[in-house]
Amino acid sequence: MVNLWRAIRFTVVFAILLGALYPLAVSGIGNLLFPYQAKGSMVQLNGQTVGSKLIAQQVTAPGLFHPRPSAVDYAANGSGGSNLGPTNPALVKEVQQNLQVVEKQDPGTPPSKIPPDMVESSASGLDPDISVQDALIQIPRIAKATGLSQAYLKSIVNGNAQGPALGIWGNTVVNVMQLNVAIEQRLRK
């Protein structure tokens, strides 16, 4: 009995410590030191919050870069992947549809040259990045729709490309939000 009473007292004390004081400490220090990151890396354009740098959003306009396919329609309040297995006919259908979209919007690249990440759904459904190869394939379409030169678009892709962390870990990727904000700002000038 005495141990049960102790277990209850422990639960009350440590629920306050670990469920209130600890998270408040993290939140307090985090917001003090890194207010932008702590609130979710929200991006402003002309004084309007247009999204998070870290969250993909649906972009279908021909004049902007498109993110990777999402199995959850870019629902940032319901993340997830397709969970389709490798031998599931639905996977082939899904990739085929994504491939047809790319071939229609960005004609001229044979399927073998299209990177798989461009036609296969991400894990979170909210992958904010695309591979450089993916970005380069989209450039002719964006140039045509916006009138911006291909050389300029290539320069913003290269300028925003993030190499591996500490030169070792991960891939070289480009953040779609940063690219699109750069395009919007250039067009408004």
Rounded Cα distance between 180 and 30, Å, is 28
Binding residues among 168-187 for another protein as defined by CB under 8 A = 168-171, 173, 180-181, 184
Q: Can you name the residues that pair with 131 across neighbouring β-strands? A: 173
Answer yes or no whether residue 161 interacts with another protein by CB under 8 A: no
- Shortest Å distance, C-beta 145 to another protein: 13
The 72-111 contact track toward another protein, x by CB under 8 A, reads --xxxxxxxxxxxxxxxx-xx--xx--x----------xx
Binding residues among 15-34 for another protein as defined by CB under 8 A = 15, 17-20, 22-23, 25-27, 29-31, 33-34
Answer yes or no whether residue 59 interacts with another protein by CB under 8 A: yes
Answer yes or no whether residue 128 interacts with another protein by CB under 8 A: yes
Answer yes or no whether residue 165 interacts with another protein by CB under 8 A: yes
Closest listed residue to residue 160, CA positions, set 179, 141, 184, 143: 179
Answer yes or no whether residue 129 interacts with another protein by CB under 8 A: yes
Q: Are 149 and 159 in contact (CB under 8 A)?
A: no
Q: List the one residue from 47, 107, 112, 188 that touches another protein (CB under 8 A).
A: 112
Contact partners, residue 47, CB within 8 Å, separation at least 6: none
How much of the chain is helix, strand and coil, in % rounded to 5? 50, 10, 40
Q: Are 142 and 64 in contact (CB under 8 A)?
A: yes
Q: Which stretch binds another protein (CB under 8 A): 7-15, 136-144, 149-157?
A: 7-15
Q: How many CB atoms within 10 Å of residue 86?
A: 6
∠ CA 48-51-57, nearest 5°, is: 135
Nearest to another protein of 139, 178 (CB atom): 178
Q: Are 101 and 141 in contact (CB under 8 A)?
A: no
Nearest to another protein of 29, 150 (CB atom): 29
Nearest to another protein of 139, 175 (CB atom): 175
- Shortest Å distance, C-beta 33 to another protein: 7
CA 69 to chain centre: 10
Q: Which stretch binds another protein (CB under 8 A): 54-62, 136-144, 147-155?
A: 54-62
